[in-house]
Amino acid sequence: MPIRPSRHQRDLRQSLSQDLRRTTEGQRLARAQMREHLRDHLDELRTRARRGGTQEVVWDRLARATPRTQREVARIVDAAIEVADRDGLDGLSMRRLASSLGTGTTSLYRYVLSKEELLTLMVDAVNAPDLKTAPSGDWRATFTTLARDHRRQLLAHPWLVAEIASRPAIGPNTLRAADEILGVAIGMGLDPTTAGSVVATLLRFVRGAAADELAELDATRRTGMTQDQWRETIAPYVRGVIESGRFPSFTSVVMSADPTDDEQFEFGLARLLDGFERLTATGG
Amino acid sequence: MPIRPSRHQRDLRQSLSQDLRRTTEGQRLARAQMREHLRDHLDELRTRARRGGTQEVVWDRLARATPRTQREVARIVDAAIEVADRDGLDGLSMRRLASSLGTGTTSLYRYVLSKEELLTLMVDAVNAPDLKTAPSGDWRATFTTLARDHRRQLLAHPWLVAEIASRPAIGPNTLRAADEILGVAIGMGLDPTTAGSVVATLLRFVRGAAADELAELDATRRTGMTQDQWRETIAPYVRGVIESGRFPSFTSVVMSADPTDDEQFEFGLARLLDGFERLTATGG
DNA sequence: TCGGAAGTGGGAACACTGTACCCGGTTCGG
DNA sequence: CCGAACCGGGTACAGTGTTCCCACTTCCGA
């Protein structure tokens, strides 16, 4: 999310007013050029990317593409998500994806610049907390259901957390969601900057939690074990650690009642929202 | 961190007392067997892993290995970390690693079961927030410097966040750190369970924040652009988004003063600690 | 001192990956 | 009806993790 759109923002804001007029014409020109031969355009993008020059953002290209192309891309992305959900990220190869679509492998490259780009599209397609079911008016309740929804989303697509972590989320879906959440934060009476920080903090916590919860699950899938086999595997080691007596605090925590993932998530979320509450209580 | 050691803990605790005696003899036996031919042992582990059976945990094997082997493994892991820091995770291949060590590629497999295992070792080697510089007595101050240290660590090794996310962190280094932090939480007067949740929440936030901060940086490295080139690339797109007028809250946040990464991190951390403070104020 | 076993290093080969290059077929506007 | 634009995909290449195997060193007991 560009909730933290970094320091170049100032420059952007400056150049914004000047460039605002010229943009539409420029876009029309680009569209004409592209329609001429879309195929070569993709190739050109590829070579330019290889040379390390400035590129075009995926979503701009897609927005200008023909409806058929857009549908095709959506179909590819959906299939890719399905494969990744079932077999994990390692199981998602272009050949597998193609065969699951019943097409040739290299045909995919007519619609997608690279696997990298495909992943970017996958992330945006799936990373969109849905606000419409959230209660309105009470920001605390809204944030709570929102955090729960996002967590559910991340757990439903085990590959998602790792991929989100390594690419700036500025896709249209993500943006729409970010806008809605920011609206809630602003509705708390916070100034925009603080609102941005609040939302960023909330999302960071949720993603961190989901990552933790997925770790064990991921390890089992990777090694091909069942959950039980894996536990059996680490049991002697953990036992040894506890026996050693070198980790008293750790031991006492392990030996105490163990909260479920749900409970621990709710605990952390509640603490975080407690922290936010102070902002509205003391500030403006 | 096994701060969330999941539901099988109960069973573990039960079997603990029974098995406690037998363990040392069992270990001595295993050691004798292993010394006989360590090479075959590694091969056996490999095939057993392929068949999907129960394995041995890496750290147990290493603890029993000869000092020379331990040194060699450490050398490999260090080199791997260096390569990953410089060229990213994608740039870390076994061949590259070997050539950076001046050895043959397949020689590495004498010391490391697989690349997977190597990554696990790398994570544990580097993921250890250091508590010794932290002030004692004041938990809030301790947590603050601790969070800052961990964030610094994660940013210093850009590949670390993604890898932590997908493997349960139960290495000795990680355990030692976890134990120390848990000690601080218990020192707040919290019961072990709550202490565990508090620490988990804190670490989750830090990792989430680091992931966010690294996203842009990662994207540039992956595409081979400079930071400026990348910004130039997305600028028109962001401009278009703002122009569209469909994201008013988002726009107002982007247009407002932009906090630095540091400021935003400190903000979130402060809110989280505010939330923790309530625990000590109201509870026991 | 010597012979054999245990331990070490690494080359060749395999099955797989992402994707550049190119050619034959299809569709459609003039 | 024909040419141009578009679409699908086979072949090939460089690079990956890993296995199998063999030559070499080191060391220990007789």
Taking only the tens place, the pLDDT of each residue in B67-99 is 889 999 999 999 999 999 999 999 999 999 999
A70 Cβ nearer than 7 Å to chain D strand: no
Length of chain B in terms of residues written: 284
pLDDT above 90 covers a percentage of chain A that reads 59
Q: Which nucleotides of D are covered by protein (CB under 7 A)?
A: 5-11, 15-20
pLDDT tens digit sequence for B226-258: 788 888 888 899 999 999 999 999 999 999 988
Residue of A nearest to B187 (CA): A249
Long-range CB pairs of B87-92 (<8 Å, 24+ gap) are B88/B158, B88/B159, B88/B218, B88/B221, B88/B222, B89/B159, B89/B162, B89/B163, B90/B222, B92/B159
How confident is residue B222, by pLDDT bands cut at 50, 70 and 90? confident
- Burial (0-12, 13-18, 19+ Cβ within 10 Å), A232: middle
**Res A2 pLDDT > 60:** no
Distance from residue B169's CA to nucleotide C17's C1', rounded to whole Å: 29
- Burial (0-12, 13-18, 19+ Cβ within 10 Å), B105: middle
Give the model's pLDDT for residue A133: 65
Distance separating alpha carbons of residues A105 and B144, to the nearest angstrom: 51
How confident is residue A172, by pLDDT bands cut at 50, 70 and 90? very high
Give the model's pLDDT for residue A78: 96
Residues of B in contact with A188 (CB under 8 A): none
Q: CB distance B179–A54 less than 8 Å? A: no
Q: Which of B167, B232, B236 lies closest to A219 in CB terms? A: B167
Which of B109, B104, B111, B72 lies closest to B96 in space, CA to CA? Answer: B104
Taking the Cβ of residue A189 and every Cβ of chain B, the question of whether any pair is shorter than 8 Å is answered with no
**Res A278 pLDDT > 80:** yes
Taking the Cβ of residue A18 and every Cβ of chain B, the question of whether any pair is shorter than 8 Å is answered with no
- The tokens describing A179, both together, are 């806008």
Token look-up 């726009």 returns: B251
**Res B178 pLDDT > 80:** yes
- The tokens describing A225, both together, are 């074990």
Long-range CB pairs of A64-71 (<8 Å, 24+ gap) are A64/A27, A64/A30, A64/A31, A64/A34, A65/A38, A66/A38, A69/A38, A69/A111
B220, B208 Cβ separation under 8 angstroms: no
How confident is residue A24, by pLDDT bands cut at 50, 70 and 90? very low
Range with the largest mean pLDDT of A15-24, B66-75, B120-129 = B66-75
Taking the Cβ of residue A109 and every Cβ of chain B, the question of whether any pair is shorter than 8 Å is answered with no
Q: CB distance B204–A200 less than 8 Å? A: no
Tally DSSP H helices, then E strands, for chain B.
13, 0
Distance from CA of B259 to the nearest CA of A (A): 7
Token look-up 């403006």 returns: A284
Find the mean pLDDT for residues A37-58: 67
Distance separating alpha carbons of residues B119 and B164, to the nearest angstrom: 10
Give the model's pLDDT for residue A258: 86
B70 Cβ nearer than 7 Å to chain C strand: no
B106 Cβ nearer than 7 Å to chain C strand: yes
Find the mean pLDDT for residues A260-268: 97
Distance separating alpha carbons of residues A272 and B205, to the nearest angstrom: 10
Q: Whose CA is nearest the C1' atom of nucleotide D11? A: A106
Taking the Cβ of residue B183 and every Cβ of chain A, the question of whether any pair is shorter than 8 Å is answered with yes
Which three-class secondary structure state does DSSP give residue B57?
coil
Distance separating alpha carbons of residues B252 and A183, to the nearest angstrom: 10
B100 Cβ nearer than 7 Å to chain D strand: no
Residues of A in contact with B252 (CB under 8 A): 182, 186, 192
Find the mean pLDDT for residues A220-238: 83
Q: Under 8 Å CB-to-CB from A37, ≥6 apart: which residues?
A: none
A66 Cβ nearer than 7 Å to chain D strand: yes
Distance separating alpha carbons of residues B221 and B158, to the nearest angstrom: 11
B133 half-sphere exposure, CB direction, 13 A CA radius: 9
Distance from residue B96's CA to nucleotide D14's C1', rounded to whole Å: 15
Amino acid of residue A219? A
Distance separating alpha carbons of residues B108 and B102, to the nearest angstrom: 11
Q: What is the mean pLDDT of chain B?
A: 82
A37 Cβ nearer than 7 Å to chain D strand: yes
Taking the Cβ of residue B42 and every Cβ of chain A, the question of whether any pair is shorter than 8 Å is answered with no
Give the model's pLDDT for residue B130: 66
Find the mean pLDDT for residues B182-199: 95
Torsion region of A92: left, alpha or beta (phi above 0 gives left; psi -120 to 50 gives alpha): beta
Nucleotide in closest CA–C1' contact with A36: D5
Find the mean pLDDT for residues B142-146: 94
Which three-class secondary structure state does DSSP give residue A6?
coil
Distance separating alpha carbons of residues B28 and B198, to the nearest angstrom: 39
- The tokens describing A76, both together, are 């590819």
Distance from CA of A154 to the nearest CA of B (A): 12
Give the model's pLDDT for residue B135: 67
Give the model's pLDDT for residue A40: 53
Which three-class secondary structure state does DSSP give residue B14?
helix
- The 10 Å Cβ neighbour count of residue B228 is 11
DSSP state of B257: P
Which of B227, B277, B263 lies closest to A200 in space, CA to CA? Answer: B263
Interface test with A, best of B1, B4, B282 (most A CBs within 10 A): B4
**Res B37 pLDDT > 90:** no
Find the mean pLDDT for residues B194-201: 97
Interface test with B, best of A151, A157, A234 (most B CBs within 10 A): A234
Per-window interface: B 117-156 vs A, CB < 8 A = none
Q: CB distance B211–A23 less than 8 Å? A: no
